[in-house]
């Protein structure tokens, strides 16, 4: 376990020779602090002075209460649909124990849902049955009092930082109630999904830095999902460490920047960026980029590895990485903190922007297509389904997966409520929220869609794709009904088509433009 510096000083007389040598190592690396830290902090101080926030004179208690009301209202109206966005669900048939004092009137502790973080427990609201995370603090502890005061003053509100729902107080303790999160690994995801997680991490740290806050001890476990959706919302959960970290576990040492090894108490923005770069690499590689095995899991060994890093070793780690991603990571784990990326430079990187733009397109395009095709005849919807299945298998598979994600009750039918609930449960970048709301509310109020209808309504066939397929198969010389037979469209679908178009009309569709106009 990692020990805080104050405890190390208190037990210095009892240290082994190995630990004394470690202290010498810290002294030997002090040139990092002398060379870099003063310049880094002076630079950040000048930048922060330009962004000074003017706080209102509103009392901290009133500010906190207003914060809870606003967050609750925003949560309910996020896209105007479900209030269950937080992912909290009733837990049935679990053993329950109650807190001793007034806290038990509203919450009970849930046994069986364990959290990896200490001093945290899962609780359930006795009235609405929703789950939450509880962190307990002592009223007679000065450090805990300072955290509660800081929490009220900062009034933190951000989509990617865990929300404080309320603070319960009894005679002895404070109980901070956070929105519920899932304590599970983030590594079991696709590269695209991980890219969206990294973007959300950047968003949360950007909020801290823009509001004169730091973390200083970021790890992969500092972030948690609020539900199990493939593209669910990611949250930074360690608000107490943002306020002040007095304990420094071994896990946090692995993500320290070189200049921080001899200055644990001095937190900088550059230090957070380094840690974020290491976390991104760990997520993408499914292993820590520097600490490879348990033999390296000691403060002495970790310190040696980090101090021995150089540009060549970092370039070797990034050797097979996409060039735009390499630019992002190498900028984040740059050895010189003065030229290390800022959080804004991370956010404007080409790779991360391409991923987020692709993600926004995947959110909006099916709804745009639906709005365009919603008044089509059933024949055209069926034809589009079969054409996408034959011409664009990637799009077909993506839409098939999307249908499964929306169809939570697995009955093979989705409604407009199901669609809205799905979009309410996933991460929505700020850039697309307004368009998404408009799309969702343009949907017909009463619809029930099976998979074929859903894909037929939400798919799109681009002109180049149709043109390529049309000419490859010499469709300029084939009548449409012959073409439909060629791609094995069933007799039932053919009957639907011919019920909307006379045989003579079908015979006349022989040019590319007529073909495309008919299909789309």
Which of 344, 349, 341 is CA-nearest to residue 323? 349
Structure tokens at 137: 């603090």
Q: What percent of the chain has pLDDT over 90?
A: 40
Q: What is the pLDDT of residue 84?
A: 40
Higher pLDDT, 114 or 421: 421
> How confident is the model over 430-444, as pLDDT tens digits?
999 999 988 888 888
How large is the average pLDDT for residues 219-227?
92
Q: What is the pLDDT of residue 475?
A: 67
Q: What is the pLDDT of residue 44?
A: 54
Written out in words, the top-level CATH class of the domain with range 186-348 is mainly alpha
Q: What is the pLDDT of residue 230?
A: 87
CATH of domain 362-519: 1.10.238
Q: What is the pLDDT of residue 408?
A: 87
> How confident is the model over 266-311, as pLDDT tens digits?
788 999 999 999 999 999 999 999 988 766 678 888 889 999 999 9
Q: What Rg do the C-alpha atoms of the chain give, in angstroms?
A: 28
Would you say residue 98 has pLDDT above 50?
Answer: no
Judged by DSSP in three states, 175 sits in strand
Instruction: Please provide the average confidence, as pLDDT, over all residues in the chain.
Output: 79
H runs (alpha helix) in 348-479 = 350-373, 378-391, 393-406, 416-424, 433-441, 451-458, 463-472
Would you say residue 106 has pLDDT above 80?
Answer: yes
Strand runs labelled E in 139-219: 164-169, 173-179
Q: What is the pLDDT of residue 402?
A: 94
The residue to which tokens 């209030």 are assigned: 83
DSSP 198-252: HHHHHHHHHHHHHTT---S---GGGEEESS--TT--EEE--HHHHH------HHH
Would you say residue 447 has pLDDT above 70?
Answer: yes
**Residues 316, 127: Cα–Cα separation, whole Å:** 56
Q: What is the pLDDT of residue 172?
A: 84
Which of 342, 169, 375, 223 is CA-nearest to residue 271? 342
Would you say residue 2 has pLDDT above 50?
Answer: no
**Domain-wise residue ranges, the chain:** 60-179, 186-348, 362-519
Q: What is the pLDDT of residue 253?
A: 86
**Confidence grade of residue 204 (pLDDT, cut at 50, 70, 90):** very high
Task: Please tell me the pTM assigned to this model.
Answer: 0.76
Q: What is the pLDDT of residue 3?
A: 39
Write out the H or E segment, with its range, that includes residue 132: strand 131-138
Q: What is the pLDDT of residue 90?
A: 37
Higher pLDDT, 52 or 445: 445
Q: What is the pLDDT of residue 415?
A: 93
Would you say residue 346 has pLDDT above 50?
Answer: yes
Q: What is the pLDDT of residue 295?
A: 65
Would you say residue 195 has pLDDT above 90?
Answer: yes
Using alpha carbons, list the distances in angstroms from residue 101 to 109, 115, 119, 300: 13, 23, 18, 45
Which listed CATH number (3.30.365.10, 3.40.50.300, 3.30.200.20, 3.40.50.880) goes with 60-179?
3.30.200.20
> How confident is the model over 17-73, as pLDDT tens digits?
444 444 444 444 444 444 445 554 555 555 555 444 433 334 444 443 444 444 444
Would you say residue 92 has pLDDT above 70?
Answer: no
Query: How many CB atoms within 10 Å of residue 384?
Result: 23
**Residues 88, 129: Cα–Cα separation, whole Å:** 8
**Residues 90, 71: Cα–Cα separation, whole Å:** 22
Q: What is the pLDDT of residue 82?
A: 36
């Amino acid at each position: 376990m990692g020990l805080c510096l104050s405890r190390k000083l208190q037990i210095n007389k009892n240290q082994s020779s190995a630990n004394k040598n470690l202290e010498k190592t810290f002294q030997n690396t002090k040139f990092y602090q002398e060379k870099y830290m003063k310049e880094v902090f002076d630079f950040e101080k000048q930048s922060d002075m330009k962004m000074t926030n003017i706080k209102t004179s509103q009392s901290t208690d009133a500010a906190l209460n207003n914060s809870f009301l606003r967050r609750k209202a925003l949560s309910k109206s996020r896209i105007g649909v479900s209030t269950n966005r937080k992912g909290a669900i009733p837990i049935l048939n679990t053993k329950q124990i109650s807190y001793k004092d007034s806290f038990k009137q509203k919450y009970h502790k849930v046994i069986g849902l364990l959290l990896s973080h200490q001093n945290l427990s899962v609780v359930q609201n006795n009235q609405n049955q929703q789950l939450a995370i509880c962190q307990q603090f002592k009223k007679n502890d000065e450090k805990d009092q300072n955290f509660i005061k800081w929490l009220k003053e900062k009034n933190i509100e951000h989509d990617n930082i865990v929300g404080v729902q309320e603070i319960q107080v009894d005679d002895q303790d404070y109980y901070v109630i956070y929105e519920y999160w899932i304590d599970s690994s983030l590594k079991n995801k696709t590269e695209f999904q991980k890219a969206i997680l990294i973007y959300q991490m950047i968003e949360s740290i950007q909020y801290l830095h823009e509001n004169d806050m730091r973390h200083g001890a970021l790890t992969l476990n500092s972030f948690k999902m609020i539900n199990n959706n493939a593209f669910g919302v990611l949250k930074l959960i360690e608000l107490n460490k943002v306020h002040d970290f007095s304990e420094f576990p071994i896990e946090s040492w692995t993500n320290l920047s070189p200049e921080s090894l001899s200055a644990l108490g001095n937190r900088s923005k550059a230090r957070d960026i380094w840690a974020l770069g290491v976390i991104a690499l760990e997520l993408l590689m499914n292993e820590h980029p520097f600490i490879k095995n348990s033999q390296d899991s000691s403060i002495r060994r970790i310190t040696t590895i980090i101090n021995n890093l150089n540009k060549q070793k970092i370039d070797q780690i990034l050797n097979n990485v996409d060039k735009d991603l390499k630019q992002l990571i190498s900028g984040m784990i740059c050895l010189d903190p003065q030229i290390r990326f800022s959080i804004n430079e991370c956010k404007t990187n080409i790779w991360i922007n391409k991923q987020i733009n692709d993600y926004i397109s995947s959110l909006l395009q099916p709804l745009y297509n639906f709005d365009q095709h919603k008044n089509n005849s059933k024949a055209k919807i069926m034809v589009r389904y079969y054409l996408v299945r034959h011409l664009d298998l990637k799009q077909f598979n993506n839409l098939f997966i999307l249908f499964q994600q929306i169809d939570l009750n697995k009955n093979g039918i989705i409604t407009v409520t199901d669609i809205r609930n799905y979009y309410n449960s996933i991460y929505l970048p700020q850039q697309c929220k307004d368009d998404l709301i408009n799309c969702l509310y343009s949907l017909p109020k009463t619809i029930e869609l099976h998979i074929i209808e859903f894909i037929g309504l939400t798919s799109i066939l681009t002109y180049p794709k149709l043109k390529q397929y049309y000419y490859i198969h010499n469709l300029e010389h084939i009548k449409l009904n012959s073409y439909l037979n060629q791609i094995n469209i069933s007799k039932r679908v053919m009957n639907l088509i011919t019920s909307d178009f006379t045989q003579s009309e079908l015979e006349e569709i022989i040019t590319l433009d007529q073909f495309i106009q008919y299909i789309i």
